[in-house]
Structure 1
Amino acid sequence: MDRQTSSDMEKASIHNIEEVALHGHAATNIKDGQSLFHIDEAKERALRRKIDLRILPTVALLYLFCFIDRANIGNARLAGLEKDLGLQGYDYNILLTAFYVAYVVFEFPAQVVNKWIGPGKMIPILSFGFGLFSLCMAFVQSFGAAVAVRFCLGIMEAGVFPGIAFFLSRFYRKDELGFRLALYIVCAPLAGAFGGLLASGILKIDHIGPYRTWRNIFLVEGIITMGIALISYFILPDRPETCKWLTPEERLLAEARIKSENVGQTEVVDALHSKTLWSGVFNPTTLISATIFFFDNIVVQGVGFLYPTIVRTIYPGQTTIQLQLRTVPPYVVGAFTTLLTGYLSFKTKKRGLYMVLSAPFMIIGYAMYLGSMDPHVRYTAAFMVAIGAFSFGALCTAWAAANVTSDTARAGALGTVVLFGNCGGLVSTWTFLPKDSPRYVPGNAFNLCGSTVMLILSAGLWAWQVRENRAKAKGRDDWRIEGKTQAEIEALGQKLPGFRYAY
């Protein structure tokens, strides 16, 4: 197959699914990108529904507690963590920073390990680890110990978000992926809502053994996470080919339909090669999507860590439990819009459109924060920010994943997007400082500017991809495949004439 030239492949005709699903066989015409086999739509819908029901609840639950275990420190802060550990000045911000330093440093290496070992195995292992270190936070007695535990938590969580996105990309088509990403990424705003409710309930427990107040939050949530991770280890398959709950026919269909969207590729899961990995990293769509996600994550992670504190400045006279409950409604609205934009993206096969529509809500929200100290205006601003911000997690990762042509390149692209996002999380730990309370002008102004940049980049990338597709359709890249072997063709990626940017 390696010596098959472009002229040979252009003569390829429609094949059956069994043939194109075999290792070493292409599933698309490299010149026009058209599939070389026909799929029964009813069978594909049934397969997709089966995958949805088996995989999505598990990964959504894992990510829910991943985000809860990351952000529950904000709830613990309201419940007395700072006082008990003797935190002063910027100590709380340093505590948040420790998590993100580890998260950023280990992000890309963790994604390479996900590719090497397999996300179906690594995601449960990493999830058990972050549950364990969340549990350990219940036992810390000093600032130094808390920093060490948060750093270890960051190491464990580094590979979970990109790992789940990479895992799902092995089971779903590019246009299906955005909505499925939304179905688990929605757990970020839900974690804010559910985490606040759960923390309120836990705080009503007087003690668990010798442990009280905020320590109970980490104790209970850590144990729950570890239990879910253990169960998921026996549920998640690594790829369709090894999935025991699919029939042999369904496995072939699952493999063939994914291969059909990777123009020029002959394997669904290719071998790990550094050149291919870096091609996914330095893809223009990857880098722009990653930059957008950088600014978005400054908002999302800042909300997760500091929204309870902002609520306290709006409603200073209320009890801790009342404040926890006040944090819930904006998260619920954010969760709804995340699902809505993800679903519309799936149905319309567009991503850039909904990013362009979402960014103005963030701009308006931060303008309201800067323009008024009225509690009702600022609480409304929280809803505006939530409507705009939370949907970008699914849309940015889906946009990057849809514009590469191999499993390895996809691992690199997703790792890069989430790496940039977590760099934004690191920045977010220093955007709302105690000295800026209660108005937080620097943090709100920075996020206002960042939201504007997100709008400009989203619109710009969309316009560029439309222009590139028009040039490809006119035959600009046809010369690139002349006389090439299959190995050389696979290395072309987005330069293939049959490749079209998915925007």
Structure 2
Amino acid sequence: MANESISKAETGGSLVQETAEKSATTTSMSNKIEAANTDDSRDGAPAYEYDRLAERKLRNKIDLMIMPTTCLLYLFCFIDRANIGNARIAGMDVELGMKGFDYNATLSMFYVSYIIFELPSNVVCKIVGPGWFIPFLTVMFGICSVGCGFVQTTQQMMGVRFLLGMFEAGMMPGVAYYLSRWYRRSELTFRMGLYLVTGPVAGAFGALLAGAILNLDSFGAAKGWRMIFAIEGVVTIGLGVIGFFTLTDRPETARWLSDDEKRLCEERLRSERLGATKVLDKLDKKKLVLGMFNPMVISTSVIFLFCNITVQGLGFFLPTIVGSIHADKTVIQKQLFTVPPYIVGSIVTLIIPLLSWRWDRRQIFMIVTAPMGITGYIIFLATTNQTARYAATFLITSSAFYLGALTNSQVSANVVSDTARTSAIGLNVLFGNIGGLISTWSFLPFDAPNYPIGNGLNLGVQMGTLTIATIMLFWMKRNNAARDRREAEELEKIRDMTREEQEDLDWKHPSFRWRS
């Protein structure tokens, strides 16, 4: 690759600079070298210099080859998860004889299996490789979605939803981990935003699709609400099969990258990983534990738990809530009224990660946008005016959906090794789905039509997000200052450690600094 200069530092009690240069006559000297992140060397991450034009071309190529398939797979993952809400207002609960809390229990079965298989699934993803594992999961939960269209009892629906959760458990953490194999810390938030924006897009598109499907007479043996599951499941299976051919597992195996591009891709990732000798390390129990028992990972995971009480609650109950606001509308009209809030949420889910990428900051955005959600739920609790309550749904979708991208990239930014990143992202999503489980019991039948309990709970978690994010921002700054004061003394203590032993310290390394 023309005009590329790479500077790497490895920590072994002191930083050692190694520079490799490769030049060509076709590129002007003025464009050669620029610092990628001038403050990285201060916190122990190696200073890294390279040709910005070459790096931009590489990033654009990765975007083109990786993101479209990733986004499509996650879009239908979310559709297959949340389409039960659309099926409900189309008569599913009546036909299956659901009474009392049956619908809530059916939703819960999905999250029970999701939580059980969350961390194991992400460990298997690292072992097998996400380029193979993610398409496999897609095919399997597509089959489960089709199965939902042919159940005859509530108990059968619960069983199939349990299997759906088992296979979907690995999708969100798996895709987040997969993208961390390709993108730098600052770039990762926006790319996660690109695939997580498919969540609110799925809410809007899923409602439109459900409305269109319900206009059909039948799909094979499926009729009515059953067609929603059957048709969307078949599409998911087809996309999963395509994914086997389009998802490249890692830069090393990418046929569409030149040798120089592969090297640049690896070196720019390794430059941010303190003392790392390779981007993809071997599975290590100690690093797995450090990835989970990390103050920033745990606190951020709690924020994602709070976030999912709102996000998953919207996915399952927004059609019901909108239906109660617009009780005089037809079923299809009720479906369509859920679309605009999701569209606004989708736009914000792109804007916030884009700003995060520009400034390489995540925590501050968790803080400044929380008041929108707080305001939305105060409106739900304070008035029964239909217009005001419908407007509140826009505030809520604008404050919630983007947190999936920010929290996953934040835990990724605050660990070092690939193994620790696997467990950190897995824990974050596990907590998120505990929130999803809680959300299934947030809007109860006796609480209708205004749902003060569900809305009060969501107001509380929005305030919890604001509180925790603010406290942890100040804690990071204070802890980093303390690490600055102790660094020389602590480095002296680890001088005799081998490089492998120093790598095993991960975020406990004296030169590590928290990233806000």
Q: Tell me the residue number matched to 2:35.
A: none
Matched to 1:186, the amino acid is V
Q: CA deviation at 1:120?
A: 1.2
Matches within 5 A, 1:325-404: 325-404=336-415
Select which of 482, 488, 495 maps to 1:471: 482
Is the 2:370–2:465 Cα contact (8 Å) retained in structure 1? yes
Q: Tell me the residue number matched to 1:489.
A: 502
Matched to 2:166, the amino acid is I
Q: CA deviation at 1:357?
A: 1.2
Q: CA deviation at 1:31?
A: 7.8
Q: CA deviation at 1:148?
A: 0.7
Select which of 12, 19, 26 maps to 2:17: 12
Matching of residue 238 in structure 1 with residue 249 in structure 2: yes
Higher alpha-carbon deviation: 201-210 or 412-421 = 201-210
Tell me, in whole angstroms, the C-alpha distance in 1 between the residues paired with 2:125 and 2:11. Answer: 33
Tell me, in whole angstroms, the C-alpha distance in 2 between the residues paired with 1:179 and 1:438. Answer: 37
Q: Tell me the residue number matched to 1:24.
A: none
Q: CA deviation at 1:11?
A: 3.7
Q: CA deviation at 1:495?
A: 2.6
1:128-162 deviation digits (Å, cap 9, x = unpaired): 11111001111111111111110000001000000
1:389-426 deviation digits (Å, cap 9, x = unpaired): 11111111111000000000000000000000000000
Q: Secondary structure at the match of 1:165?
A: helix
Matched to 2:470, the amino acid is A
Matching of residue 183 in structure 1 with residue 194 in structure 2: yes
Tell me, in whole angstroms, the C-alpha distance in 2 between the residues paired with 1:5 and 1:446. Answer: 47
1:245-264 deviation digits (Å, cap 9, x = unpaired): 11111100001111111101
Matching of residue 270 in structure 1 with residue 275 in structure 2: no
Q: Tell me the residue number matched to 1:412.
A: 423
Matches within 5 A, 1:40-439: 40-439=51-450
Q: Secondary structure at the match of 1:261?
A: coil
Q: CA deviation at 1:14?
A: 2.8
Matching of residue 499 in structure 1 with residue 502 in structure 2: no
1:42–1:387: structure 2 CA closer, same or farther, 3 Å change rule?
Answer: same
Matched to 2:392, the amino acid is A
Q: CA deviation at 1:474?
A: 3.8
Is the 2:313–2:440 Cα contact (8 Å) retained in structure 1? yes
Q: CA deviation at 1:243?
A: 1.1
Indicate the structure whose relative CO is greater, using CA pairs within 8 Å and at least 6 residues apart.
1
Q: CA deviation at 1:212?
A: 1.1
Tell me, in whole angstroms, the C-alpha distance in 2 between the residues paired with 1:56 and 1:227. Answer: 18
Q: Tell me the residue number matched to 2:467.
A: 456
1:418-465 deviation digits (Å, cap 9, x = unpaired): 000000000000010000001111111111111101001111111111
1:258-283 deviation digits (Å, cap 9, x = unpaired): 11111011110000011111100111
TM-score (norm 2): 0.92
Tell me, in whole angstroms, the C-alpha distance in 2 between the residues paired with 1:445 and 1:17. Answer: 61
Tell me, in whole angstroms, the C-alpha distance in 2 between the residues paired with 1:51 and 1:99. Answer: 33
TM-score (norm 1): 0.95
Q: CA deviation at 1:500?
A: 2.2
Tell me, in whole angstroms, the C-alpha distance in 2 between the residues paired with 1:29 and 1:59. Answer: 30
Tell me, in whole angstroms, the C-alpha distance in 2 between the residues paired with 1:331 and 1:461. Answer: 30
Is the 1:29–1:498 Cα contact (8 Å) retained in structure 2? no
Q: CA deviation at 1:34?
A: 4.8
Q: Tell me the residue number matched to 1:21.
A: none
Tell me, in whole angstroms, the C-alpha distance in 2 between the residues paired with 1:84 and 1:162. Answer: 35
